Structure 1
Amino acid sequence: MVHLYWGDGKGKTTAAMGLALRALGHGRKVVIVQFLKDGSSGEIEPLRHLGAAVYACPNAKFTWLMNDAERARARENATAALRTALTQPWDLLILDEACAAWQNDLVDRDLLRETVARAQTQSEVVLTGRNPAGWMQDAADYSTEMRACKHPYTKGVSAREGIEY
């Protein structure tokens, strides 16, 4: 089954990590790939402690600020992280920020599509991000749009440690 948590609202990664926690609580094998993230957000260490394998793909800049060399390096790192993650056994595979990785060509696209296709026969795959590609929507068995109705950021309030990151 393919799960897609998408949109401009808060909660996409939180929902995916909640599913990871539930799966771990039932003895399932969980593998997480965080595209465009350094693996330091508050939920990652406890999930690792509970047995999740986590692979991060840090980038020094926002995608729109990367030059061609930085973009190529980010693509190599993300693809390597995904390849390594796929060597692990998993019941639940979370591909956090897969939508952005796809949209910005920061991961081997064929490998990402093949990975999602495996969910139809193997287990569960979760994709998160803002603007999913059409094929992601088509592949999804679950599609949940997170829509921002109100957020403190619009009033200039910064993200709070332990809540938003």
Structure 2
Amino acid sequence: MTDTNESATSAGASAPDERTPAETRRNTPGGGVRPAADAIEPSAPDEFGLVQAWWGDGKGKTTASLGMAFRAVGHGYRVHLLQFMKGGADSVEDVRGEYNTIAAVPGISYENTGHYGWHGMRDGSDEDDHRAKARGAMARAEELLAAAADADLTEPLPLDADPEAGVHLLVLDEVLYAVDQGLIDENDVLGLVESKPGNLELVLTGSHTEPTYLLNAADLVTEVRKVKHPFDAGIRARKGTEY
């Protein structure tokens, strides 16, 4: 039996440890070709309409939702991010890196309705204000879902239009955590899911507790589990990674 490497070498190709960088790239699945980036033009998704829930005690729930948001925007879909309870602690600046990026990229917008500070963490913030802001965020989410229901989501939407004109993907960040903290009710979230128009992709994040009430209602449920976190070693939120 002839060794594959010997056969390739005898045919004139370099052995793996002798390949040039260009030869190595040519042997990758993409053939070493770097895909060109297209200009972002308004478009409409063919297969949106699912409900996603991202929960767990690990870092990465908001990060994952933002990754999907920017991926969708890259295809020309209209995206909006509505954040519940994203005020943060005193180690986090009020302007996060994603806000600056969103402002620079067409097709995506955001709102932060959260109180600066975290409910239940004894940071001196007004607990009643936390509850009022969470209820306000819920009312805003209902408005956005109603607007999406009125829009034709099978068609491209203007990238610079207000979210009231409809969006293809809506991220409700930390909404599940607001349920955990008793600021809103799980039935409120189920009501949002039930009122979702068929072509809207709805992404819900937050919660360290499994949102069992969503297991039948959601199409994708992902647990982001902590194995190790720098916070446990006393390392606070870092600019550029956590905010």
Larger radius of gyration: 2
Q: Structure 2: how far apart are the matches of 1:116 and 1:48?
A: 28
Counterparts of 1:84 and 1:108 in 2: how far apart (Å)? Answer: 18
SS state at 1:58 partner: coil
Aligned to 1:153: 231
Q: Which digits, 9 at most, give the CA deviation of each residue in 1:24-54, with x for residues without a partner?
A: 0011110111000147321122123323121
1:29–1:102 Cα change, 3 Å:
same
**Change in 2 beyond 3 A, CA 1:161/1:137:** same
Q: Kindly indicate whether residue 104 of structure 2 is the aligned counterpart of residue 49 of structure 1.
A: yes
Q: Which has the higher strand share?
A: 1
| Higher helix proportion | 1
Identity %: 35
* Structure 2 CA distance for aligned equivalents of residues 96 and 127 of structure 1: 6
Contact 2:78–2:168 at 8 Å: present in 1 too? yes
- TM superposition score normalised by structure 2: 0.60
Deviation at 1:60, TM superposition (A): 3.5
User: RCO higher in 1 or 2 (8 Å CA, sep ≥ 6)?
Assistant: 1
Structure 1: gaps of 5 or more residues: none
Is 1:63 matched with 2:122?
no
Name structure 2 gaps, 5 residues minimum. 1-49, 88-93, 148-163
Deviates more, 1:101-110 or 1:129-138: 101-110
Post-superposition CA distance 1:63-106 (Å, at most 9, x none):
11465632442234323432454442011010100111223343
Is contact 2:84-2:178 (8 Å) kept? Answer: yes
CA distance, structure 1, for counterparts of residue 143 and residue 74 of structure 2: 24
116-125 vs 11-20, which deviates more?
116-125
Judged with a 3 Å threshold, the aligned counterparts in structure 2 of structure 1 residues 83 and 55 are, in CA distance, closer, same or farther, namely: farther
The residue that corresponds to 1:163 in the other structure is 241
Normalised by the size of structure 1, how large is the TM-score?
Answer: 0.85
